[in-house]
A and B are shown apart, each in its own frame.
Chain A
Amino acid sequence: MTPTSLQGGGPEPTARAAVVSVAAPARSRLVFQSQTSRRLAFGYLLLAPAVLYVLLLVGAPFLFSLYLAVSDANVGDPVATFIGAENFRAAIEMDVFWTALQNSVIFLVVAAIFKSLLGTSLAFLLLQEFPFKKLIRGVVVIPFTLPIAISVLAWKWMYDSQFSVINWVLSRAGLIGQYGTDSWPIWLGDPKLALLACIAVNVWRTFPFSAIVLLAGFTSVPLEVLDAAKVDGCSFFQRFRHVVAPMIFPILMIGFLFDTVFTLSDLSVVYLLTQGGPANASKILPVLAYQIGIQAGNLGRGAAIALFLVPLLAPAMFLFLRNLRRREY
């Protein structure tokens, strides 16, 4: 066969069709086109409700929050006027804003360290095979699956200033003194302890999540791929470095970023335990935004404070997006 006849292979079916019926190609193209446009119309119609809902109740409010942040909107006064960057300026001139920002960052970093340590150890344990594995796994992830406001209540009771069960145990063990003495820790009332107590609850709640994400990462590496690498003469470290790490890294990244967004923006733990007290010792940005925006009714300034989370979240969001694209497509 000559190259020309190979090249001629493309249009050949059409030519053959033309022998059968001259009108066929034109009609089938028409049918195809109308089918395509019908498919697209159907598709966008199916998509419309979800997209509209999200645009109206996430997209628009997000833009609206930008507008609120540059206005003097108040709960009692619906007519807001434009005041430029005044809310942002006022926010950064508040001492409590800087305290809250600092606490938010401390909260995020300290919690991340502990939950990754605990999560990794748990993941390695759950990677093994043993009897009752499913049951134990189900029990261990309970902190993550309990509704957060509800589990925080249990902690509030365990942190009680007088009847704390933690203190009871420590006291009986001789590690702390009696109730009423200086060596009796008041977890939520002591400025030095309050933030740590809140961080502990966040760690308790999210370490199972870290573990499960890690597990998902490990189990996403097909054994055949590892075996193939072994047959090809890769050492353990080479296999880890070139096979396992690139495969699990995106999953870990997404889990990590997801947790970052959640931890930075969650207010329920601190709000329910301490309301940010004592004396702002455990105040974080979300709690401050809530107190100023809703409790004090200053919508504009509250929105401005909440928006200070955006630069903190933006890198996480950006990485998340990049990861998602690489994995999916």
Chain B
Amino acid sequence: MARGALTQQQKDRRRYLLIYAGLTPFVFMAVFPLYWMLITAFKQDPDLYRMENIPFWFNMAPTLRHFNILFFQTNYGAWIVNTMTIAAWVAVITLVTAVPAGYALARLRLPGAENIAISVFMTYLVPPIILFLPLSRVVAMLGLQDQWWALVVVYPTFTIPFGTWLLMGFFKTVPMEMEEAARVDGCGYLGAFVRVVLPVSLPGVLTAVIFAFTLSMQDFLYGLAFVAPGDQKPVPVGVPTELIRGDVYYWGSLMGAALLVGLPVAVLYNFFLDRFIQGITGGVGK
């Protein structure tokens, strides 16, 4: 009996080892660029540009100089503030529009709700590369060219469709009876929505906020096309366009800047990745 259990354990261990061996290249592929960014950001310049050394560890003392440059000689601080402010506004606009829309489509048995829902989601698939030229005109008409406000107007074009779709799924999972009970108790439609459905859908609403934030961070084209002044850019646009001056690359600062913002976003997004996949594959309200 005991021997049987032991061999089972050994079998398991061998199986795990095989799986880990299979996963190692994938983990390496995912992690190495990050590691390379990290170590580059803290290396002294002579250490970066000497080929005789083994480059995977520090050959000279680590330095914070690159971050010093970043925060005191570039607009990096401003870009972080811009990014955060843009994301906050985008999240607010997305919530104000997508929460009611998702609820209406999921719950109120509107004629044509299916078609509206699908059309709204399809707009998420219209690529920015087709929209950015006409949108540049819209931005100019609004007098927002070369300000980060332009991005606050433009980013909801993809966060609203995705948010609506996502929230529709959430609202579908709230039991209909709860709402009906609320209405029997004298709540109107608005009352049932605000007092009963919304509180239990809070996780969904929070997810929509996270996506408004992370999807805004994934944009590059709109930021590149609409915001030229150095102090108005969001981080993903500012770093590659302002820290590369002609042929001179400040690799240490570049990698530091990229990592400092990219890593938290990636971690945040990681937690909600399954939701994202469920959203786009239409597996809503599982």
Contact = CB atoms under 8 A, between A and B. Distances in A.
Contacts, number: 287
Contact of B122 (A53, A212, A317): A317
B32 to A, nearest CB: 9
Given A49-B101, A147-B236, A267-B129, A141 B138 contact: no
A68 B130 CA distance: 11
B55 interface: yes
Interface stretch (A1-9, A120-128, A229-237): A120-128
Contact of A317 (B125, B224, B235): B125
Residue with the greatest number of chain B CB neighbours at <10 A, chosen from A65, A140, A150, A268: A150
Given A141-B273, A317-B122, A286 B129 contact: yes
B265 A146 contact: yes
Contacts of B133: 65, 68, 289, 293-294, 299, 302-303, 306
B29 A143 contact: yes
A293 B134 CA distance: 10
Interface residues of B, number: 98
Nearest to B286: A220
A150 B37 CA distance: 10
A117 interface: no
Contacts of A44: 104, 110
Interface in A151-185: 151-155, 157-158, 160, 162-163, 165, 168, 179
Interface string B242-266: 0000000101001100110111011
B118 A321 contact: yes
A140 B156 contact: no
Given A130-B19, A204-B29, A152 B283 contact: no
Contacts of B221: 267-268, 286, 290
Nearest to A287: B129
Interface stretch (A13-21, A55-63, A91-99, A186-194): A55-63
Interface stretch (B59-67, B69-77, B92-100, B199-207): B92-100
Residue with the greatest number of chain A CB neighbours at <10 A, chosen from B108, B130, B236: B130
A142 interface: yes
Q: How large is the interface on A (under 10, 10 to 19, 20 to 34, 35 or more residues)?
A: 35 or more
Interface in A126-146: 128, 130-131, 136, 138-146
B97 A49 contact: yes
Residue with the greatest number of chain B CB neighbours at <10 A, chosen from A61, A267, A313: A61
A196 interface: no
Contact of B97 (A50, A262, A325): A50
B97 A65 contact: no
Contact of B138 (A61, A268, A271, A325): A61
Contacts of A40: 108, 110-111
Residue with the greatest number of chain B CB neighbours at <10 A, chosen from A118, A145, A254: A145
Interface in A201-228: 204, 208, 212-213, 216-217, 220
B36 A157 contact: yes
Contacts of B209: none
Nearest to A327: B282
A43 B160 contact: no
Contacts of A303: 133-134
A40 B112 CA distance: 11
A98 to B, nearest CB: 18
Contact of B36 (A165, A261, A299): A165
Interface string A19-54: 000000000000000000011101110110111011
Given A53-B160, A61-B134, A255-B281, 15 more contacts: A46-B103, A62-B131, A121-B22, A136-B27, A142-B31, A149-B236, A157-B255, A165-B55, A216-B281, A261-B125, A268-B221, A294-B132, A310-B130, A324-B121, A328-B114
5 contacts: A43-B108, A44-B110, A154-B33, A212-B277, A306-B133
- For the complex of A and B, the 9 pairs showing the least CB-CB separation, nearest first, are A265-B127, A50-B101, A46-B100, A43-B108, A64-B134, A145-B269, A61-B134, A150-B262, A46-B104
